[in-house]
Amino acid sequence: MVTDLTFLLQSIAWPLVLLLAWLLAERAHEAWRVPRVTSYVAVGLVGGFINLPGLTDAVPGLPFLANVALSLVLFELGYRINLRWFRHNPWVLVVGVVESVITFALVYAVTGLFDLATDVRLVVASLAISASPAGIVRVANELHSAGQVTERVLHLCAINCLMAVMALKLVVGYWHISTTGDLVAAAFGSVHVLGTSVAVGTLLGVAVPWLLRARNTSANGVTMVFALSVLLLTTMSFGLKLSPLLAALTFGVVARERRVHLTNAQRDFGTVGELLGLFLFVYVASLIDWANVWTSLALGAALLVVRTGSKVLCNLSVARLSGITERKGVLTGLALTPLSAFAILLLEQSRLLGLEPAVQALNVLAGTVVVLELLGPVVTQRALLAARETHVTHETL
C-alpha cells in the first residue's frame, strides 16, 4: 500500500507542481507585479527544499526536456540578434566581450579568497560571465519591451552566453590536459564541441529558411517548423555530445540573417513554449541542494557584488561612446543581473562530459543561483520599466 501511494505521488508530482506554479505566478503577478518566472523559481525551490517525491528524484528524460525548453529560448534570443548592428555600432560588441573578460578575471580572483581549487574557480568564473537568456527574454516579452536598453540587453546577453560557453569549454580542455595529459580528450571537450555545435546550428539556420521559402509556409507553420527544428537540433546535440545551447543560439542568429520572420504573437512559441518555460524554471530551481545554499551564502554575496558591479560599470563607461546616456548604461548593466537556467544546464552538460569539478562548482554557486534566480528577473523588470521602453506601466503591469 505504501509503495502504491509513493508511486502515485511520484506520478502526479510534476503536473500538480506545474499547475500550482502557474496559479501562484498569475496571482503574484496580478497582485504584486512580480515577474512570473520568479514565482516559478520559488515553487521549484520549495519543492527541492522539502524533497518532494517525484520532483527532485532522478526522472528519465527531464534533463533533455529542460534543454529543449532552454534551446527554444536561445533560438528566440538568437533570432532577435542583428549582426549588422555590431558593424554600425561596434561598441556594443566591444563592451560585451570586454565585460565578459573582466567578469571572469574578477570572479576568479574573488573565489581565491575562499580556499577553492583552481579548477573549480575556473568553472565558477566561466559560468559567472553568462546572463540568464530564459529570464531576460521572458521578462522582456512579458513587458512587450522594445528600445535601446532592451536591444542592448538582448545582444549583450547573447554575447555573454557565447563567451561563457567558450570559456567553459576551454576550461574542460585545460582540465583534461592537466589531469590526464590526453590532448585528444582535451580537443574533443573544447574545440570539437565548439566548432561542431556552431556548424550544426549554422547548417539548420541555412536549410530551414530555404525550406520555408520553397514551401511558402504560413506564419503558424513557420513557428511549428522552427520548434521542430530546435527539437531535432537538441536531440542531435545530445547524441553527438555537442552543446545544444550553443547550437540553438547559432541557429537563431543564422535564421534571422536568412530573413524568415517570426511575428510578435509567435514569441515564446505559443502555449507549448510557455509550458516548457514554466517547467524549465521549476525544474532548474528544484536541482538546488539547500544544504549547499547555507554554506555558500558568503561567497554568493561576494560574487553578486563583483558580477553586478562589472556589468554595470562596463556599460556605464562606454555609454556615451555607444550612443546612450549614462543612466541607460547603468540600467543595461542591471538588466543583465539574472543567472540561472543557462549556467546550471551548461554545468550539467559539462559534468556528463566528464568534468569532475562541475559538481563542486554547482555546490559553490548554490547560494548565488538562489538569490539571482529569485531577484534577478525583478531587477530586469524594474530596469526595463525605468528605461521607459515597455508597453505596460506600473499600474497595468
Cell numbers 579548477 label which residue? 119
Cβ atoms of residues 48 and 4 within 8 Å: no
* Domain-wise residue ranges, the chain: 61-386
Please check the confidence at residue 265 and state whether its pLDDT lies above 50: no
Cell 503558424 locates to 220
Residues 160, 135 contacting (CB under 8 angstroms): no
The answer to whether the CB of 369 falls within 8 A of the CB of 157 is no
* Helix ranges restricted to H, the chain: 2-32, 36-49, 62-79, 83-88, 90-111, 118-129, 133-143, 148-180, 183-187, 193-215, 219-240, 244-257, 270-286, 290-295, 297-317, 326-335, 341-352, 357-386
Q: How confident is the model at residue 396 (pLDDT cuts 50, 70, 90)?
A: very low
- pLDDT-based confidence at 214, cuts 50/70/90? confident
DSSP 3-state of 270: helix
State the pLDDT at residue 260.
58
SS3 390: coil
What's the rounded mean pLDDT across residues 50-77?
83
User: 3-state SS string over 32-85?
Assistant: HCCCHHHHHHHHHHHHHHCCCCCCCCCCCCHHHHHHHHHHHHHHHHHHCCCHHH
> Which CATH code fits 61-386?
1.20.1530.20
Long-range contacts of 326-332 (CB under 8 A, 24+ apart): 328/148, 328/149, 328/387, 331/149, 331/383, 331/384, 331/386, 331/387, 332/149, 332/152, 332/153, 332/156, 332/383
- Taking the CA atoms of 94, 97, 100 and 106 in sequence, report the sign of the dihedral they define: negative
Residue 241: phi and psi, rounded to 5, are 60, 45
| Model confidence, pTM | 0.93
Count Cβ atoms below 10 Å from residue 174 Cβ, excluding itself: 16
Q: Of 68-77, 145-154, 164-173, 352-361, which gets the smallest average pLDDT?
A: 352-361
Which whole number is the average pLDDT over 12-28?
Answer: 93
